[in-house]
Structure 1
Amino acid sequence: MSASAEVAAAVCGFGAGFDIDVREHLTEHRTALREFHRTAARHTECVVTWVD
């Protein structure tokens, strides 16, 4: 992992042992979340997000 990838992982709150591409990881999870919201919208369901 390059120094910039390590910095990106640290900025995102991932620990020092995080050894995969941060962009790939976040893109994968963003895609899953987007599909979740699309499915909810198709079923006219609400999604509540709680951020503490």
Structure 2
Amino acid sequence: MAKRETKGDISVREAGRRGGTTTKERHGPEFYREIGHKGGQKVRELIERGKASEK
């Protein structure tokens, strides 16, 4: 069984959940769409660079 990491009165998992909830409330769903799109574009760019360096 994994050891629970805690800081103060809440677990790391709970702190992450609270942070995600706060981010969702502040920025809304569009924020997640934008960062997902940016991440996808970066992955595409890295794949293209890798293919170009193989040639």
TM-score with structure 2 setting the length: 0.46
**Larger RCO (alpha carbons 8 Å, 6+ apart):** 1
Structure with max Cα Rg:
2
The TM-score with structure 1 as length reference comes to: 0.48
